[in-house]
């Protein structure tokens, strides 16, 4: 196992983690961005299975959040404001009237402190950052670290930690767009997905959760027995239409299985399993991805990747009964998500 380090522009570094079985993960200290994940298919052909820019400089703005570390709050905050302890905090409205993914200066735009780590059975990088009180409109000085680890079991492990000196919302995720066909050869229509969830959050026309957890049974949102992503892309239900013909919804995990998500791509034989201690995730099927961006393996188009954004829901800032996102000074934010790659013979 080894780590390669490449120095790039303005203090950027690209770390490439390699294990002994042909898997490699590349990431930047800028934005915590995963730029490539290379894994073998059933025939042993190693290809990239996430969507990313061909030119690394394009990540400086990265409006699609390709591979990015998202925070301090992943997802949309209704009305770009929230109330906490009788104080109203107003944030940047960077998505219509709402606040998205920490704003234009969120964690995806931060040059993180980075430290490579290497053990006998895993290699990785620890990213750390101290957010100042009122930065981006959020209360509290928050010290955050995110560890990316690659094991010889073809596991990509993301460990998130944070502490604060004031009550503050904090829910982090990674915004990688997966495409198991390899090098973006096909869209994700025929990715077969299983999700340990029987409820999802209803969205309004602005993609803001209404606070209602809908029963997924007998809808294209019921993935408990597995289904193709094309079901929701082509089905004309109101919720799929609102999302732009696909999914952009928060799924509440049942935690009845050890694996929260399983993804299979039949032609390549690649399988992705996701285990997490997060209460749920946003699954986004790149419904709004524009055409013509220069990416690894070709140019972008709609439905070219699928994101599994494991996190707590920011809708809990406005609606009761949902997993909370507010971190208290006497608490420690600590979450873990494991992406494991294999093949189905």
pLDDT digits 0-9 by tens, 122-143: 999 999 999 999 999 999 999 9
pLDDT of residue 343: 97
Q: Please report which confidence band the pLDDT of residue 9 belongs to, taking 50, 70 and 90 as the band edges.
A: confident
Q: How confident is the model at residue 225 (pLDDT cuts 50, 70, 90)?
A: very high
Tens-digit pLDDT profile for residues 171-204:
999 999 999 999 999 999 999 999 999 999 999 9
- The C-alpha angle 98, 250, 316, rounded to 5 degrees, equals 60
- CATH numbers and ranges of domains, the chain: 2-343 (2.70.98.10)
> Are residues 140 and 121 in contact, defined by beta-carbon separation less than 8 angstroms?
no
Put simply, whether the predicted model's pTM sits higher than 0.75 gets the answer yes
Q: Measured between alpha carbons, how far is 64 from 52 in angstroms, rounded to an integer?
A: 10
**Of 99, 175, 249, 303, which residue is the catalytic one?**
175
Query: What does DSSP say about strands 280-284 and 248-252: parallel, antiparallel, or unpaired?
Result: antiparallel
Does 345 have pLDDT greater than 80? no
Residues 6+ apart with CB under 8 A from 117: 123, 124, 125, 126, 147, 149
Work out the mean pLDDT of the chain and round it to a whole number. 97
Asked about 319 being catalytic, the answer comes back as: no
- State the Cα–Cα distance between residues 310 and 274, nearest whole angstrom: 9
Asked about 205 being catalytic, the answer comes back as no
Determine the pLDDT at residue 236.
87
295, pLDDT greater than 80: yes
Q: Is the pLDDT of residue 297 over 90?
A: no
Cα–Cα distance measured from residue 23 to residue 259, given in angstroms and rounded to the nearest whole number: 21
Alpha-helical regions (H) of the chain? 230-234, 238-242
Maximum distance among all Cα pairs of the chain, rounded to whole angstroms: 59
77: left (phi over 0), alpha (psi -120 to 50) or beta: beta
- Cβ atoms of residues 119 and 19 within 8 Å: no
Q: What is the pLDDT of residues 41-98, one digit of tens each?
A: 999 999 999 999 999 999 999 999 999 999 999 999 999 999 999 999 999 999 999 9
Q: What is the pLDDT of residue 311?
A: 98
Number of other CB atoms surrounding residue 286 within 10 Å: 24
pLDDT for the residue 329: 98
Q: Which of 14, 47, 265, 309 is catalytic?
A: 309
Q: Is the pLDDT assigned to residue 121 strictly greater than 80? A: yes
Strand partners, 154: none
- Give the residue-averaged pLDDT of 211-223: 97
The H-or-E segment that residue 281 falls in is strand 280-284
């Amino acid at each position: 196992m080894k780590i390669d380090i490449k120095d790039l522009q303005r203090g950027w570094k690209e770390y490439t983690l390699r294990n002994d079985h042909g898997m490699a993960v590349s990431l930047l200290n800028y934005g915590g961005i995963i730029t490539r994940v290379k894994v073998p298919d059933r025939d042993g052909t190693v290809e990239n299975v996430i969507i990313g820019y061909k030119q690394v400089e394009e990540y400086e703005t990265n409006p699609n959040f390709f591979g990015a570390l998202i925070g301090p709050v992943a997802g949309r905050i209704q009305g770009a404001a929230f109330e906490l302890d009788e104080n109203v905090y107003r944030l940047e409205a960077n998505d219509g009237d709402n606040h998205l993914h920490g704003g234009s200066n969120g964690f995806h735009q931060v040059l993180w402190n980075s430290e490579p780590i290497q053990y006998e059975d895993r290699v990785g990088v620890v990213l750390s950052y101290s957010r100042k009180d009122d930065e981006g409109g959020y209360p509290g000085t928050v010290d955050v670290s995110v560890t990316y680890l690659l094991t010889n079991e073809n596991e990509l492990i993301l460990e998130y930690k944070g502490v604060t000196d004031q009550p503050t919302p904090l829910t982090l995720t990674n915004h990688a767009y997966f495409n198991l066909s390899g090098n973006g050869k096909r869209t994700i229509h025929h990715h077969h997905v299983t999700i340990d969830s029987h409820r999802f959050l209803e969205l309004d026309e602005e993609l803001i959760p209404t606070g209602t957890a809908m029963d997924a049974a007998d809808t294209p949102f019921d993935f408990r027995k597995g289904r193709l992503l094309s079901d929701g892309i082509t089905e004309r239900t109101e919720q799929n239409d609102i999302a732009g013909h696909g999914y952009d919804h928060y799924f509440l995990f049942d935690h009845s299985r050890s694996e929260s998500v399983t993804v299979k791509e039949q032609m390549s034989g690649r399988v992705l399993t996701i285990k997490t201690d997060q209460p749920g995730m946003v699954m986004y099927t790149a419904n709004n991805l524009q055409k013509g961006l220069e990416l690894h393996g070709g140019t972008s188009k709609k439905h070219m990747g699928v994101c599994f954004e494991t996190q707590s829901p920011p809708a809990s800032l406005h609606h009761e009964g949902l997993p909370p996102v507010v971190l208290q000074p006497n608490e420690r934010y600590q979450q873990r998500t494991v992406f494991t790659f294999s093949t189905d013979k």
